[in-house]
Amino acid sequence: MAPLTNLQTRDVETLVHPYTNLAAFRDKGPLVLERGAGVRLYDVDGKDYIEGMAGLWCTSLGYGNAELVEAARAQMERLPFTHLFGGKSHDPAIELAEKLKEIAPVPISKVFFASSGSEANDTQVKLVWYMNNALGRPKKKKIISRLKGYHGVTVASASLTGLPNNHIDWDLPIAGVMHASCPHHYRFAQPGESETDFATRLAAELEEMIQREGPDTVAAFIAEPVMGAGGVIVPPETYYEKIQAVLRKYDVLFIADEVICGFGRLGAMFGSTVMKMAPDTISVAKALTSAYLPLSAVMINEPMYQALLDESRKIGTFGHGTTYSGHPVAAAVAMKTLEIYERDRILDRVGKLIPRFWKRLDALRGHPLVGEVRGAGFVAGVELVADKSTKRNFPPKRMVCPSIVSMAEEEGLIVRAIGETIAICPPLIITEAEVDELFDKLTRALDRGERWVGEHRLREATV
């Protein structure tokens, strides 16, 4: 292993990196990126990479978009900051809230702004609790998420997240958060169970959970249209139809976490539309500004807003908010981002490229390392297996998926290892030629990985 450069050493000695093995990282050091243009990133040595993850599922318009840069500059010059506390406001926040209400997939009454998806989902928890207090239902506070769901890393949102590493030694999840079964047919369906039958069973399990806990204690159910950081998991056919019937039966609020799926990722403006969801409230972030500035939003319905009004009359204030809620520069960039989506017909562009994207994905199904290819629209997961017939994964300690992701990086492609799944989520502005380049590089990495697995006899490993 090459010695760390001066810049890498400075990084190791100053930063704590999210979702990183901090011990192993001290020896390897970071990939230091310097600039970006379109769908490409360039490191400090000038090597270019196709950004196959749109950053973290977010840089939808790619890098170096001059209009977004100018929107930020102009707003910085006009009004770099003010807040929304105590009745103050500004044009960018007002205009953005109006626009979100206009394009929302379901009727929305009001918008609350924050800075990240984690904050938005944390706010969702607080609003559900607050609303039920206002409605005189102090016991109706439990929230159901799903195993392998991802909703953030604050105390509340990390509790909603259904991934072990977000709970181990963090003393999470908090009380009142439960996790329903993961809707991954490939992994969790019973032998011979169709997608429809699997969905029926999961809906029955959810109803049993609500009945067991007591319907008067269960407040909300939160779900991503397609589960992102849990491994790009697409629920089975009829899943949301059946889940929503259960939620309506027991008066359980439905929260859609659109942080990854919103703004074109699945081929429509919102993933809820694609997956036939009719949520009561919605969280958005990431592609709202193409990730150029931090901004998130919680979109709430009229009944929830009326509850907030009632509590404000009683208490004298709405005691929630952050300094950067509705930051004017972030809001201005978001408005320009939404304008570009519409003006440049980004959804039409994505729709035309989806067949090519999936043709190349489908070609990977026959690779010796690939057990399943799954996803929707412009997001996909390629799950690696040691044995296709039994679906047996490689032991995590063998680091097969992370190693192949590193090989892809050497080939000039940035993708992400999620367990034994390679996640792919390119910027929405990618061209057909760049789609082919992405998959050419990924295929070379998989071929290298197959040779490496064979040389080290990793298919025989059990630990």
Which sign, positive or negative, has the C-alpha torsion 205, 380, 411, 3?
A: negative
Closest alpha carbon to 293 in 243, 337, 250, 351: 337
Q: Name 250's Cβ contacts closer than 8 Å, sequence gap at least 6.
A: 207, 210, 215, 218
pLDDT of residue 2: 84
Query: What sections of 135-194 are H helices per DSSP?
Result: 155-160, 185-188
Mean pLDDT within 220-240: 98
For residues 284 and 273, give the distance between their C-alpha atoms in angstroms, rounded to a whole number: 14
pLDDT of residue 461: 80
pLDDT of residue 462: 82
Q: Name 458's Cβ contacts closer than 8 Å, sequence gap at least 6.
A: 386, 394, 398, 400, 452
- pLDDT band, very low/low/confident/very high, at 463 (cuts 50, 70, 90): confident
**173-201: per-residue pLDDT in tens?**
999 999 999 999 999 999 999 999 999 99
**Displacement of CA 377 from its chain's centroid (Å):** 14
pLDDT of residue 261: 98
Position 41 pLDDT exceeds 90: yes
In residues, how long is the chain? 463
Query: What sections of 54-190 are H helices per DSSP?
Result: 54-57, 66-78, 91-103, 117-134, 155-160, 185-188
Residues facing 282 on adjacent strands: 256, 299
**255-300: per-residue pLDDT in tens?**
999 999 999 999 999 999 999 999 999 999 999 999 999 999 999 9
Q: How far is CA 142 from CA 119, 159, 204, 256, in A?
A: 19, 12, 18, 16
Position 1 pLDDT exceeds 90: no
- Burial of 344 (C-beta count, 10 Å sphere; 0-12/13-18/19+): middle
Sequence-distant contacts of 125-129: CB under 8 A, at least 24 apart: 125/156, 125/157, 125/160, 126/156, 126/320, 127/281, 127/298, 127/300, 127/304, 127/308, 127/320, 128/219, 128/220, 128/253, 128/255, 129/219
For residues 158 and 170, is the Cβ–Cβ distance under 8 A? yes
Q: Name 18's Cβ contacts closer than 8 Å, sequence gap at least 6.
A: none
Mean pLDDT within 388-415: 97
Mean pLDDT within 223-238: 98
**143-176: per-residue pLDDT in tens?**
999 999 999 999 999 999 999 999 999 999 999 9
Mean pLDDT within 47-70: 98
For residues 379 and 228, is the Cβ–Cβ distance under 8 A? yes
The single-letter DSSP state of residue 396 is: G
**Displacement of CA 403 from its chain's centroid (Å):** 23
Q: Report which of residues 461 and 392 the model is more confident about.
A: 392
The rounded mean pLDDT for the chain is 97
**411-454: per-residue pLDDT in tens?**
999 999 999 999 999 999 999 999 999 999 999 999 999 999 99
Q: How many CB atoms lie within 10 A of CB 454?
A: 11
- Burial of 424 (C-beta count, 10 Å sphere; 0-12/13-18/19+): buried
pLDDT of residue 275: 98
3-state secondary structure of 51: strand
DSSP letter string, 307-375 = HHHHHHHHHSS-----TTTT-HHHHHHHHHHHHHHHHTTHHHHHHHHHHHHHHHHHHGGGSTTEEEEEE
114-125 burial, b at 16+ Cβ within 10 Å, e below that, comes to bbbbbbbbbbbb
Q: How many CB atoms lie within 10 A of CB 139?
A: 11
Mean pLDDT within 104-119: 98
Q: How many CB atoms lie within 10 A of CB 269?
A: 21
3-state secondary structure of 269: coil
Q: Which domains does the chain have, with CATH numbers?
A: 31-64+345-460 (3.90.1150.10), 68-343 (3.40.640.10)
pLDDT of residue 378: 97
- pLDDT band, very low/low/confident/very high, at 121 (cuts 50, 70, 90): very high
- pLDDT band, very low/low/confident/very high, at 405 (cuts 50, 70, 90): very high
Q: How many CB atoms lie within 10 A of CB 361?
A: 20
Q: How far is CA 147 from CA 166, 181, 267, 317, 459, in A?
A: 12, 6, 25, 36, 27
pLDDT of residue 248: 98
For residues 283 and 280, give the distance between their C-alpha atoms in angstroms, rounded to a whole number: 11
**Radius of gyration over every alpha carbon of the chain, rounded to an integer in angstroms:** 22
Mean pLDDT within 214-220: 98
Residue 173: is the preceding peptide bond cis (ω within 30°)? yes
pLDDT of residue 411: 98
